[in-house]
Chain A
């Protein structure tokens, strides 16, 4: 399922902790309620993005996997 999004961050090819560091930076630039679409190829980013959302209070709307590429939709609190 896809969601509407306001910004895209392509973190493909990056390893921990870079996907989360870049996601944080991108989220900082959004307005409350806006959605970031983040793409990663790091399997560790699945639990990491869940943890990021839990810690920061931003909402992980959903995520999907497609052949080694993970897409996340995160809504700024």
Chain B
């Protein structure tokens, strides 16, 4: 193990669909598993992940999503009920593959010291208040993320 290896991961989470909730949290908790530090900067739709009680309620839409494992024509995908159905389908696959719930990964991350940072600007834009978010969130801006990322960190954006 060489001395100039990165020991920190700086992650930007900008999307709030069910499939987009996983990469930031898997990488952050995976980093903890390797004895690394991590911080996740939640911005725009990513803030949905850290709203109180919302982590397990994220959805995935079948419309305009040609990479969905079960292909559904857009003209069907746009009908009422199709998004909840696609969400239910994906959640059942997650359960079958024994994948941890987002709320569990979030808990492991917070307990393990992952910095959870809410983007001040996006919160203002979308009218989200600190009280709407889970406990332990710092509020910051681009400089907060960049300062963290500049110290020999792997920087990722999802």
Contacts and interface: CB of A to CB of B under 8 A. Distances in A.
- Find the residue from B1, B33, B97 having the highest chain A CB count within 10 A: B33
Interface in B13-41: 26, 29-30, 32-36
B26 A20 contact: no
Nearest to B26: A17
Contact of A20 (B1, B5, B30, B98): B30
A21 B98 contact: no
A15 B154 CA distance: 24
Given A54-B1, A55-B1, A57-B1, A18 B34 contact: no
Interface string A33-72: 0000000000000000001101111000000000000000
Q: How large is the interface on B (under 10, 10 to 19, 20 to 34, 35 or more residues)?
A: 10 to 19
Interface of A: 13-18, 20-21, 23-24, 51-52, 54-57
B34 A56 contact: yes
14 contacts: A13-B98, A15-B98, A17-B30, A17-B33, A20-B34, A21-B29, A24-B32, A24-B34, A24-B35, A51-B34, A54-B1, A55-B1, A55-B35, A55-B36
B85 interface: no
B100 interface: yes
B1 A21 contact: no
B99 A15 contact: yes
Given A15-B99, A17-B29, A24-B34, 20 more contacts: A13-B98, A15-B97, A15-B98, A15-B100, A16-B26, A17-B30, A17-B33, A20-B30, A20-B34, A21-B32, A21-B33, A21-B108, A23-B33, A24-B33, A24-B35, A51-B34, A54-B1, A55-B1, A55-B36, A56-B1
Contacts of B5: 55
A25 B23 CA distance: 22
A56 B32 CA distance: 11
Contacts of B105: 17
Nearest to B27: A17
Nearest to B30: A17
A14 B26 CA distance: 13
B4 to A, nearest CB: 14
